[in-house]
Amino acid sequence: MKKTLLLLLFIVITSCYQETSIAIEGDFTTSYTNDDESIPVIIKIDNKITGADQYEWTFEGGNPSSSSQKNPGEILYNKQGTYTIKLTATNVDGESNEFSKTVVIKEGLNIQFTHEIIKSNYSPLEVVLKNTTVGEGLTFKWDFQDGMPAAFTGKTPPNVVFTTPGDHTITLTVSNGFESDKQTQTITVAPYLVSLFSYEPKFEDDDYEAPVTINFTNKSISATSYKWTFEGGTPATSTEENPVVVFTNAGNHEVTLEAFNDKTSQIYKAAITVLPDTNLRILTNVKLGINQAHNNNNIGAMFSTVTRQVYKANEINDQNSSLIDIVFQGLNNNFTNNRFISPDQANNYGFLELKNAQSTIFINSQNLCNCGLNFTEAQFDAMVNDNPIKSLNINYSAAGAQEFGFVYPRIILFKTQDGRKGAIKIKDMVKNGTSSYILCDIKVQKQ
């Protein structure tokens, strides 16, 4: 009876144990810690398996290569390839289960290439490309924006030529079979070569009468050297960028500029017309104010035939005062008392003294000077060179402080300190209060 009871108890206990054995379930996951599948790669294991007491991990190609930890943490992979992570999980109930994952480790893409421009960046621009990207099993695709060739497949392309000015991109796309990446570099082609210049005479030669000194301004584009030829000029040739040339004879003179760079050259030509020398400077519509207009800085009463400028009181300084050779005195806005005076006498006629002032002879009234001068308005208007005034006897004995009133047109003769003779034609007298002025044309010898 006792044996029977013991047997029944064993059967019951054994039956209960089998019913409560724990199953091994779930799975584990892998993730790339740096969001990149390129070497070196760290794989993180997240174990979500339940019901196991023991864990045997094997990490093919990994470091470490195995582990018995429930959570082995992070595994390092240094070589490209496809590897299996395997886990055998067991428990005390004798349960066992296997789990595996495949991970793909890709070789990193470190694109490296350089470009070298042959000679210069002037069109046509030729580029040598050097591809130093390291790796096995890589493919290379090149794109050359506006280049010749426009594309190439392979590690090292032939030289590429760009002709269109501006920026152009060179793009290299590299693939390892798993992923692709690209790198872009930019080359700049200089503008097309243009030969071009402008020119301007010296201030005193702006009438283009011989001799004329011309300042040339080189406006060429993408040029590195120059060859000038000046027909009838001195010098006759030049390699300077911005030469200065004298043309001594009247006529048409052809100027040629050939501009160069290391790829090509271009020629530009222009003609300069030099007029015969009249030795006469013609100045029109010169406004000279009365004393009050001058001193109030409204309209100047002083003029320089050298600078061709009218000066008000506040515009006169130590540098320009010695250049003034004409001074007009108008005592009032009714023009009852007027005269031209020598600059070195300005302080005697209501003006401040001029430093280093010139001495100019004026014949204010030809009919009162008793000097035999009778230069008419018609002669003034017809004068196209200095011949009509060359023989005029303008001297200190003929000069005087003659005044003239509100009568115009009239001619005033003068001779500057450096011996240049001239004539002033007053063609209008404008009454405008303290801003009253006379309007003149002036013709004076250049030398």
pLDDT digits (tens, 9 = 90+) for 181-231: 999 999 999 999 999 999 999 999 999 999 999 999 999 999 999 999 999
Please list, in sequence order, all residues whose beta carbon lies within 8 angstroms of the beta carbon of residue 357, skipping any fewer than 6 positions away: 321, 322, 324, 342, 343, 344, 346
pLDDT of residue 172: 98
Is residue 9's pLDDT more than 70? no
Helix (H) or strand (E) holding 389: helix 387-390
Angle, vertex CA 103, rays to CA 101 and CA 106, nearest 5: 175
Does 2 have pLDDT greater than 90? Answer: no
- Find tokens 């300077």 and name the residue: 240
pLDDT of residue 19: 54
SS3 state of residue 149? coil
* pLDDT value, residue 135: 83
Indicate the pLDDT class of residue 372, thresholds 50, 70 and 90: confident
Instruction: Tell me the pLDDT band of 37, cut-offs 50, 70 and 90.
Output: low
Could you read off the pLDDT of 251-292 as tens digits, one per residue?
A: 999 999 999 999 999 999 999 999 999 999 999 999 999 999
At residue 136, the pLDDT reads 81
Edge-to-edge strand ranges of the sheet holding 41-47? 28-32, 41-47, 74-77
Q: Is pTM, for the whole model, over 0.85?
A: no
Stretch 116-136: mean pLDDT: 95
Q: What is the pLDDT of residue 400?
A: 63
User: Is the model more confident about 216 or about 403?
Assistant: 216
Cβ–Cβ contacts within 10 Å for residue 271, how many?
A: 10
> How far is Cα 86 from Cα 99, in angstroms, rounded to an integer?
6
DSSP SS3 for 390? helix
Task: Report the chain's mean pLDDT, rounded to a whole number.
Answer: 92
Please answer whether residues 317 and 323 qualify as being in contact, where contact means their C-beta atoms are separated by less than 8 angstroms.
no
Q: Is the pLDDT of residue 237 over 90?
A: yes
Dist. CA 244–CA 234, nearest whole Å: 9
Which domains are present in the chain?
Answer: 20-105 (2.60.40.10), 113-189 (2.60.40.10), 197-274 (2.60.40.10), 280-445 (no CATH)
For residue 26, pLDDT over 50 is answered with yes
pLDDT tens across 64-89, in order?
A: 999 999 999 899 988 878 899 999 99
Is the pLDDT reported for residue 8 higher than 50?
A: no
Among candidate residues 311, 309, 314, 310, the one with its CA nearest the CA of residue 296: 314
Residue 11 has pLDDT above 50, yes or no: no
pLDDT at 5: 40
Query: Which pLDDT score, from 0 to 100, does residue 77 have?
Result: 87
Which string of b and e fits 244-268 if b means at least 16 CB within 10 Å?
ebbbeebeebebbbbbbbebeebee
Q: What is the mean pLDDT of residues 131-160?
A: 95
- CB neighbour list of residue 251: distance below 8 Å, 6 or more residues apart: 232, 273, 274
Contact 229, 255 (CB under 8 A): yes
Between 302 and 180, the higher pLDDT residue: 302
Q: For residue 67, what pLDDT is reported? A: 93
Q: Which of 60-69, 229-238, 318-327 has the lowest mean pLDDT?
A: 60-69
The span from the CA of 182 to the CA of 187, in Å, is: 17
Q: Is the dihedral of CA 42, 46, 49, 54 positive or negative?
A: positive
